[in-house]
Amino acid sequence: MAGRQNAQSPYYERISNPQGSGEMRGVTVLISMPSDGDSKTVCAAAVWRQQDPAPQTHQVGLPTHMPAQPAAAGAGAGAGARSVRRGKKLRKWIGLFICLVFAIVLGLKAPDLLTSEHQQDDEDKRVHVYTLYPKYTSVPIKMTQIRRTLLERDLKRLGKASVMGSSGRQNLSASFAVHGNIYPDGLYYMTLLLGSPPKLYFLDMDTGSDLTWLQCDAPCRNCAIGPHGLYNPRKAKMVDCRTPVCARVQQGGAYECNGGVKQCDYDVEYADGSATMGVLMEDTLTVFLSNGSRSQTKAIIGCGYDQQGTLAKSPASVDGVIGLSSSKVALPAQLAEKGIIKNVIGHCLAGGSNSGGYLFFGDELVPSWGMTWTPMMGKPEMLGYQASLQSIRYGGEALMLNVDDTDLMKSTSSIMFDSGTSFTYLVPQAYASVLSAVEMQAKKSGLLRIKSDTTLPYCWRGPSPFQSVTDVHKYFKTLTLDFGGRNWFATGSTLDLSPEGYLIVSTQGNVCLGILDASGASLEVKNIIGDISMQGYLVVYDNVRDRIGWIRRNCHIRPTKPSSPVLSKATSLFA
């Protein structure tokens, strides 16, 4: 038989087109398994379509009983095949377009589909989340001190000078844990490792400040003792006043650079008379990464050896301030300039007495879907994070923003996101409108104004003492800040504040309004979104694309999984 005759021949032979042209139309392979110890041949046939109408079949090892494959059709069949291929390509592109539309709709309808609050699986992604801690203090806070402390702090923060003069008197992700609360502490802070060997310090996180500085023994002229003592710059390098970073700190102001030392001095002043004076130092910053490693780099920080006003009062709650503005002097901008991260900052402040949250630098932890974005105003001139506020609504009803507003739906005003401010501040007309709406709602709900509680200017008493803001949900409505941005594709950018976003419960069990009149402070920016209105939101300051974004999050859960870079780039096209 044919199989026995070819038993000693090779099992296969390379098939080729001897003419070197044409198109393979099919391959037939027959494999006969061994039977009773006899081996069988492997037979194959290839069918080729030539350029000329006459087809040719090249056969290898066909058994005599195997019929030959039929010849291919003529030129008409080739034209039909090309038409079929074009149809397949068209269907492919239509399918891709439908998938793209479906993905966009899915992203809008299911913002929480993809989150960054899951366990990190990719050990190559270097991310570490820093926790925000409650303010440390060894002195118990008395009820009579709470309102004064928080309001004085806000006035100090909001009134600080944006220009720091001379001292004749500022593609990884690093994340930090944050602790603190709005009330009664009124502050959030994060931990930072500085120096060599690294030493831990508590720093007040402030998106309204440029310079990161610590109470410093240089030696100290007038300092407050913080929870970890004074920063010792013994192993740090003094920054030369002739370097570009010194000019950035001065922000165009006149300063002297002479003498043998040529140190770079700074002076930050506040509207309430508080001030910090010091000298710039370059020291080692240690950042922990999620894969268990740590990264060390040089960073420019301020060594504050002379504090005035409330900054000089001991014991201090923190060791200094970390500046998180868009200034090139700010710590995230320094890391971005070195190529370590992108200049993106995100923080998530948890509400309630057991608050906290997290803070991160870089864009790997920014959610790929569901973020609401609005453009930053005045970039690059403005260093703070401001946006255009189009309108305010309470329970769906539009309120007045400014005195000269004639169209409630078209009124505009700037508003600043400031993590260094405890409460939210509005210009007098907007504040009066919000206060009137909240007062009317409290009256309808049967709550009584209680003037004896001086925690904040306006407090109300319920049928029984409130334990938390959750208890007052049924009495109050949602306050909405509308940033506009509506078009055929987007529904607009709004920040919805539930009662937790504008109310606190005092230690006396009363509910108080956490939105205040901005006329009490000397503000360059009249409207301020403080910590109280950012609770429960992940707020992102994207200095690469000059935009501010937010999304609701459980801020007690620290993210460890980087978002998809492909999805992030895709969604950024529609942001």
Helix (H, G, I), strand (E, B) or coil at 129: coil
Contact 430/419 with Cβ under 8 angstroms? Answer: no
- For 155, the 3-state DSSP assignment is helix
Distance CA 236, CA 229 (A): 17
Say which residue the tokens 């974005």 belong to. 373
Strand-pairing partners, residue 447, are none
The secondary structure of 464-515 as a DSSP string is S--SSGGGGGGG---EEEE-----SS----EEEE-GGGTEEE-TTS-EEE-E
Residue type, 538: L
Tell me whether residue 95 is exposed, middle or buried, using C-beta atoms within 10 angstroms of its C-beta: 0 to 12, 13 to 18, 19 or more.
Answer: exposed
Set 154, 272, 405, 418: catalytic member: 418
418 catalytic residue (yes or no): yes
Q: How many residues does the chain have?
A: 575
Q: Is the Cα dihedral 389, 443, 396, 353 positive or negative?
A: positive
User: For 9-66, where are the E strands, in sequence order?
Assistant: 23-31, 42-49, 56-60
E-assigned strands of 108-148? 127-128, 130-133
Where do we find the tokens 């002379």?
306
CA 573 from centroid of its chain's CA atoms: 17
Burial of 514 (0-12, 13-18, 19+ CB in 10 A): buried
* Cα 450 to Cα 461: distance, rounded to the nearest angstrom: 6
Host H or E run for residue 203: strand 199-206
How many C-beta neighbours within 10 Å does residue 224 have? 19
Catalytic residue among 154, 185, 206, 265: 206
16 within 8 A of 44, measured Cβ to Cβ? no
Concatenated DSSP letters of 314-349: SS-SSSEEEE-SSSTTSHHHHHHHTTSS-SEEEEEE
* Distance between CA atoms of residues 180 and 535, nearest Å: 11
What's the CA gap between 347 and 359, in Å, rounded? 4
What is the layout of strands, in order, in the sheet containing 56-60?
23-31, 42-49, 56-60
Q: How many CA atoms lie within 13 A of 280 on its CB side?
A: 31
Active site residues: 206, 418
